[in-house]
Amino acid sequence: MKVFLIAGARPNFMKIAPVYREALKHEQVDCRIVHTGQHYDFEMSQAFFEDLELPKPDFFLNAGSGSHAVQTAKIMTAFEALCREETPDMVIVVGDVNSTLACSVVAKKLLIKVAHVEAGLRSFDMTMPEEINRMVTDTLSDYFFVTEESGIKNLLEEGKPQEKIHFVGNVMIDNLFYHLKTLASDDGRHFSTHKLKKEKQDFIFLTLHRPANVDSKPRFQEIAGALDRIAQEHPILFPVHPRTRKMMDEHGIEFSKQVLLFPPLGFKESLFLWKDARLVMTDSGGLQEETTALGVPCITVRENTERPITIEMGTNILAGTTRKSILNAYRKSMEKERDDHKLPPKWDGKAAERIWKVILKLGES
């Protein structure tokens, strides 16, 4: 069985790593990694492949940046040619980035089976490009691998057949637990932020990159105002995404000295920092889940989340995006105990194992 595993942007790399590792255990599977090139900077891509112990991709499509239409079209054009040449039996897409959508459309039109890992998540916010990507991908997918119960409910409500929905758990958490083990015996001395982490007690770890938060100047200013206020109480460590860096320059946004800016960090260094943070503030999807898994308090600087389990069972608080609402969420989170959480069902490090069990069974029938 020849399977293409698609990755394009940073959050994809953490999700394909455990799926790939697990594929190697099955002789009958020929699993090839296709990197679309949506992210291409060393810090956004290659550094992650190295950190996550992924081999060099089998195919690199070199799509690069551009408007959504341009980027998606470039990925589709290159991926179509590759599929015609290589004729895979199945394409596995993960998450909700433009590469996820582009490759599922191409595969489906070539009558190749599509499996979506992290299917069914919905923010119900159609202004998010990721929501559109999720919905289109799920419309086309043949198999749905779901991370949390809300995903099952959403897919059933959209009329997807029950037998194609597989509640397998969360590959992001497989990856997290895998690397946590290796970090446990590592004091992080080789990381550039090692000394800083020691010096800054009770720091906050921040990521911020959603277009809705950083592309609009008033919104970004509002968020920056809250961050500067919070940093008076706890230093904020902030690895800055390329989009955010560009928007800070464009909008002329500067932070106070207590907000420490870095270039994007690798997976392990970032984990090394946030796992011991007093609080994580983020607008990313993955960190909402990872903080829940480790019981680290998290506030999400968004109006909604497609991952409600992180609020119901986890440590996540939805903060909104105004200065006032973010400060309120911050105060609320400071009252939470670190162990005040439960692990969501099937977030046990075995999601990839379950995924291949299902796929191999399909191959037999």
Cβ atoms of 78 and 84 within 8 Å: the answer is: no
Choice from 3, 7, 11, 231 touching ligand UD1 (CB under 6 A): 11
* Cα 205 to the center of its chain, rounded Å: 16
- Tell me whether residue 22 or residue 131 sits nearer to ligand UD1 (CB atom): 131
Q: Establish whether 209 is a catalytic residue.
A: yes
CB of 130 to ligand UD1, least distance (A): 5
- Tell me whether residue 8 or residue 88 sits nearer to ligand UD1 (CB atom): 8
CB of 272 to ligand UD1, least distance (A): 19
Long-range contact pairs involving 22-26 (C-beta distance under 8 Å, separation at least 24): 22/352, 22/353, 22/355, 22/356, 23/356, 25/356, 26/356, 26/360
Residue 73 touches ligand UD1, criterion: CB under 6 A: no
DSSP 164: G
Residue 167 touches ligand UD1, criterion: CB under 6 A: no
Q: Which of 35, 116, 179, 209 is catalytic?
A: 209
Task: Pick the piece of the chain touching ligand UD1 (CB under 6 A) from 4-12, 13-21, 135-143, 152-160.
Answer: 4-12
- Tell me whether residue 197 or residue 209 sits nearer to ligand UD1 (CB atom): 209
C-alpha span between 1 and 157 (Å, rounded): 32
Site for ligand UD1, residues 14 to 53, rule: CB under 6 A: 38-41, 44-45
Taking CA 97 as the corner, what is the angle to CA 343 and CA 309, rounded to the nearest 5 degrees? 20
149's tokens: 């119960």
- The DSSP-derived string for 305-349 is -S-THHHHTSSEEE--SSHHHHHHHHHHHHTS-TT---PPTT-SS
Residue 263 touches ligand UD1, criterion: CB under 6 A: no
- Tell me whether residue 219 or residue 354 sits nearer to ligand UD1 (CB atom): 219
Residue 9 touches ligand UD1, criterion: CB under 6 A: yes
Residue 245 has, within 13 A of its CA and on its CB side, a CA count of 9
19's tokens: 């799926």
Task: Pick the piece of the chain touching ligand UD1 (CB under 6 A) from 110-118, 135-143, 241-249, 313-321.
Answer: 241-249
Site for ligand UD1, residues 175 to 214, rule: CB under 6 A: 209
Which stretch of DSSP H or E encloses residue 167?
A: strand 165-167
Residues that bind ligand UD1 (CB under 6 A): 9-11, 38-41, 44-45, 65, 97-98, 129-130, 209, 241-243, 246, 284
